[in-house]
Chains A and B, each alone.
Chain A
Amino acid sequence: MHNRMPGLARAIVAAALLGLATQAQAVTEIQWWHSMTGKLNDIVTDIATKFNASQTDYKVTPIYKGQYDESMTAAIAAYRSGNPPQIVQVFEVGTATMMAAKGAVKPVYQLMAEQHEKFDPKVFLGAVYSYYSDTSGNLISMPFNSSTQVLYVNDDAFKKAGLDPNNPPKTWPEVEQAAAKLKASGAPCGFTTGWQSWVQLESFSAWHNVPFASQENGLGGPGTRLEFNGPVQVKHIQNLADWAKKGEFTYKGRKDEPLAAFTSGECGMITTSSGSYANIKANAKFAWRVATLPYYADVKGAPQNTVIGGATLWVLNQKNPEMYKGIAKFFTYLSSPEVQEKWHADTGYVPITVTAYDLAKKNGLYTERPGFDIAIKELTNKPPTANSKGLRLGNFVQIRNIIDEELESVWSGQKNAKQALDEAVKRGNEQLDRFDKANM
């Protein structure tokens, strides 16, 4: 009995040593926490597998951590307990929170420079790059899945209403006329919109080159004030409210729910994410097409360029500097034209680089799928201005909820556009103050 214990202890020590030895020889593991489900999850795994096969020093392990807010919360909790993942995918509304966490994140431009990886900011699409850079134009997080807003048109419904689907509405007044004709032809709904805050206010402001918030829409740091209650936005929201009263515009929900009203054929038009392409293709039992996001022709400078939505990859600070080398190599692989072109074609997200866009053109992707490039054309329509680079607001999740609430009070007729947007700005500014207080 007495001999047994040391024997066991010896075995444990030996096993531990063996474990250490294997670990030292093994490749460095890079954890990539993401929120991609279903087919997107398969594609993410495929990207990692191919990167792992391309070299022997690093192994990227993608781990699904729940929806965007869940994986972000999980990564922050892991960071707070001292054991963060290497890469985490964060949605665009979390950008300000991540960026304010100096010391917790490793900016991408720094990472690439320190690791001597080739990195050319000029190959990125301007509107993608600017959304995730600081005011000096340095990229902070790696763009991954980006989409923008487009108009989808039901060709069959258009023909039935005596409209020409080859000539879809270009401006908002034309959208209204088309919606009225759709209604007159017996359609239950003329047009609807997904992601109302993102489409009808955030990108709407950029598309018309008017500010959504001060300090370059918040990119310039703290002390930002919301400004989306300007005359252009008020006029547009009031128009939508008036069209809602006439039954031409129908509100179908805050997020992605309205898409079902388009794919089921109920609504003849929808403005929503370009990323919905695959979903519509799979579910719509009618001829349809993609068209450019409408604008007001009488607003000077419109159309400018749209803003993106989606998520980027953030590098969390690591105790082991060895990790950075692997992450940098992975980012170089991820942003290569071949990987990006395949990602774009497989998912419907826009490619993040011009080189990938050119490759897609060369491969004939857009002749095969007409309208698939409209999102990229909108994003690159003009070089981004202070009003159209992107948005970076603290407590953006709460601000979007406030905007949703106030817009709902417009659609249900409780408030007019001016009252609702003024109130949303006032409540939103309180959220910005709270954020500044927590982060200053």
Chain B
Amino acid sequence: MEKRVVFQSRWLPYALVAPQLAVTLVFFFWPASQALYWSLLIQDAFAARTQFVWFDNFRDLFNDPHYIASFQVTAVFSILVTVIGLAIALLLAVFADRVVRGAKVYKTLLIWPYAVAAAVAAVLWVFLLNPTLGVLTHLLRALGYDWNYLLNARQALILIVITAVWKQISYNFLFFLAGLQSVPKSLIEAAAIDGAGPARRFWTIVFPLLSPTTFFLLVVNIVYAFFDTFAIVDAATSGGPVQATAILVFKVYQDGVQALDLGGSAAQSVVLMAIVIALTVAQFRFVERRVQY
């Protein structure tokens, strides 16, 4: 007796996946292929003249030392945002998991920042840390620390990292909390009976069991840092001082949307796309091996 369900029709399976395929094609592959095509064009804003220039846009990009420099900024920024964001969220999730009274309130409050738009989040932190008006600036000055991210490259980077991390912590927190709640209590109790302290229980049992969640968040956070942070940079620092916070995706936005250099901007997004594809493949090949499902 056949236990599996078998589709008799030849076209039904295709029909069933068609909507999904259509969405993927229209919303992902079509724009991506357009970006690829446009990166080979030089066009004026009104599309009155379009020239096919092969790889001129890419040559211009890689001949520009400032573009090369923004790779380094992006790398530092992405690593900081991902590592700090994951670490703090994990810490908060572990705490929240142990809270007995008022747990709901605590968890709800932690989720709030995720609902704040990136540009608003940036404005919020700028108000706190503005060299002229910032509340925290006055506090830092009182402590004898000169805070002025308008001219200090390191402080500008700190500002956008804080904002980007703050906004993403809620998301990470939710996933970590769900992951923690699915760790079997019996394992932890057994370890406790064997005399393992809380720290040891965490590192030898909980953390390895969380690894699928951590891996998922690692991929998501890197993509977030690479793509979703341009509004923060735009609202907080506009890439300055000099180019200290000009991450790659911000330059894509600036050149394409603000400055209407469509070819140059498309070439930059192709480069960005290549980097993220390479990073994601690398993560799946090398990091995922250490994940225990």
B132 at the A interface (CB under 8 A)? yes
A103 at the B interface (CB under 8 A)? yes
When distances are taken between beta carbons in the complex, the residues of chain B under 8 Å from A70 are 257
When distances are taken between beta carbons in the complex, the residues of chain B under 8 Å from A72 are 260
Tell me if A80 and B47 are in contact (CB < 8 A): yes
Tell me if A439 and B242 are in contact (CB < 8 A): no
A101 at the B interface (CB under 8 A)? yes
Q: Which of B48, B243, B258 contacts A102 (CB 8 A)?
A: B48
CB within 8 Å of B: which A59-76 residues: 69-70, 72-73, 76
A301-319 interface mask toward B, CB cutoff 8 Å, 1 = contact, 0 = none? 0000000000000000000
B90 at the A interface (CB under 8 A)? no
When distances are taken between beta carbons in the complex, the residues of chain B under 8 Å from A408 are 150-151, 240-242
A97 at the B interface (CB under 8 A)? yes
Q: Which of A398, A406, A427, A437 contacts B255 (CB 8 A)?
A: A398
**Chain A CB within 10 Å — which of B42, B45, B66, B261 has the most?**
B45
A414 at the B interface (CB under 8 A)? yes
How far, in whole Å, are A253 and B150 apart by their CA atoms in the complex? 6
Q: Tell me the nearest residue of chain A to B148, going by C-beta.
A: A251
When distances are taken between beta carbons in the complex, the residues of chain B under 8 Å from A411 are 151
Tell me how far the C-beta of B192 lies from the nearest C-beta in chain A, rounded to whole angstroms: 55
Q: Tell me the nearest residue of chain B to A105, going by C-beta.
A: B46
Tell me if A252 and B60 are in contact (CB < 8 A): no
B234-273 interface mask toward A, CB cutoff 8 Å, 1 = contact, 0 = none? 0000111111000000000011011111011000000000
Tell me if A437 and B42 are in contact (CB < 8 A): yes
When distances are taken between beta carbons in the complex, the residues of chain B under 8 Å from A398 are 255, 259, 261
B283 at the A interface (CB under 8 A)? no
When distances are taken between beta carbons in the complex, the residues of chain B under 8 Å from A156 are none
How far, in whole Å, are A406 and B240 apart by their CA atoms in the complex? 10
When distances are taken between beta carbons in the complex, the residues of chain B under 8 Å from A242 are none
How far, in whole Å, are A79 and B64 apart by their CA atoms in the complex? 32
Tell me how far the C-beta of A320 lies from the nearest C-beta in chain B, rounded to whole angstroms: 19
CB within 8 Å of B: which A394-440 residues: 395, 397-398, 401, 404-406, 408-409, 411-412, 414, 427, 430, 434, 437-440
Tell me if B45 and A76 are in contact (CB < 8 A): yes
A359 at the B interface (CB under 8 A)? no
Tell me if B259 and A414 are in contact (CB < 8 A): no
Tell me how far the C-beta of A46 lies from the nearest C-beta in chain B, rounded to whole angstroms: 30
Tell me how far the C-beta of A89 lies from the nearest C-beta in chain B, rounded to whole angstroms: 16
A227 at the B interface (CB under 8 A)? no
Interface pick from A135-143, A258-266, A378-386: A258-266
How far, in whole Å, are A395 and B64 apart by their CA atoms in the complex? 16
B131 at the A interface (CB under 8 A)? yes
When distances are taken between beta carbons in the complex, the residues of chain A under 8 Å from B211 are none
How far, in whole Å, are A76 and B263 apart by their CA atoms in the complex? 15
Tell me if B132 and A264 are in contact (CB < 8 A): yes
Q: Tell me the nearest residue of chain B to A399, going by C-beta.
A: B259
Tell me if A397 and B258 are in contact (CB < 8 A): yes
User: Quick one: given A252-B132, A401-B254, A427-B66, are A412 and B46 in contact (CB under 8 Å)?
Assistant: no
Q: Tell me the nearest residue of chain B to A427, going by C-beta.
A: B66
When distances are taken between beta carbons in the complex, the residues of chain A under 8 Å from B263 are 438
B43 at the A interface (CB under 8 A)? yes
Tell me how far the C-beta of B109 lies from the nearest C-beta in chain A, rounded to whole angstroms: 31
Q: Which of B46, B242, B260 contacts A414 (CB 8 A)?
A: B242
B133 at the A interface (CB under 8 A)? yes
Residues of B within 8 A of A (CB-CB), count: 34
CB within 8 Å of A: which B139-154 residues: 150-153
Q: Which of A80, A395, A409 contacts B46 (CB 8 A)?
A: A80
Q: Tell me the nearest residue of chain B to A414, going by C-beta.
A: B242
Tell me if A76 and B258 are in contact (CB < 8 A): no
When distances are taken between beta carbons in the complex, the residues of chain B under 8 Å from A266 are 132
Q: Which of A397, A406, A427, A439 contacts B44 (CB 8 A)?
A: A439
Q: Which of B49, B241, B260, B264 contacts A97 (CB 8 A)?
A: B260
Tell me if A69 and B47 are in contact (CB < 8 A): no
How far, in whole Å, are A253 and B239 apart by their CA atoms in the complex? 12
Tell me if B240 and A397 are in contact (CB < 8 A): no
Q: Which of A253, A397, A412 contacts B152 (CB 8 A)?
A: A412
Tell me how far the C-beta of B131 lies from the nearest C-beta in chain A, rounded to whole angstroms: 7
User: Quick one: given A97-B45, A398-B259, are A412 and B132 in contact (CB under 8 Å)?
Assistant: no
Q: Tell me the nearest residue of chain A to B131, going by C-beta.
A: A252
When distances are taken between beta carbons in the complex, the residues of chain B under 8 Å from A253 are 150
When distances are taken between beta carbons in the complex, the residues of chain A under 8 Å from B131 are 252
Tell me if A434 and B261 are in contact (CB < 8 A): yes
When distances are taken between beta carbons in the complex, the residues of chain B under 8 Å from A252 are 131-132, 150
How far, in whole Å, are A434 and B45 apart by their CA atoms in the complex? 12
Tell me if B46 and A254 are in contact (CB < 8 A): no
User: Quick one: given A261-B132, A395-B261, are A104 and B239 in contact (CB under 8 Å)?
Assistant: no
How far, in whole Å, are A404 and B42 apart by their CA atoms in the complex? 26
When distances are taken between beta carbons in the complex, the residues of chain B under 8 Å from A100 are 44
Tell me if B242 and A412 are in contact (CB < 8 A): yes
Which B residues are closer than 8 A to A by beta carbons? 42-49, 51, 60, 64, 66, 131-133, 150-153, 238-243, 254-255, 257-261, 263-264
| Additional pairs, 19, CB under 8 Å, beyond known A104-B48, A398-B261, A412-B152 | A69-B258, A73-B260, A76-B45, A79-B46, A97-B44, A102-B48, A251-B151, A252-B150, A254-B240, A395-B261, A405-B241, A405-B243, A406-B242, A408-B150, A408-B240, A414-B242, A434-B261, A438-B49, A438-B263
Which A residues are closer than 8 A to B by beta carbons? 69-70, 72-73, 76, 79-80, 97, 100-104, 251-254, 257, 260-261, 264, 266, 395, 397-398, 401, 404-406, 408-409, 411-412, 414, 427, 430, 434, 437-440
**Please, could you name 8 A-B residue pairs with CB atoms under 8 Å apart, sorted by A?**
A251-B151, A397-B258, A405-B242, A406-B242, A409-B241, A438-B44, A439-B49, A440-B49
- A-B CB proximity, top 9 nearest: A397-B259, A101-B46, A408-B241, A412-B151, A104-B46, A69-B258, A261-B132, A438-B44, A439-B44
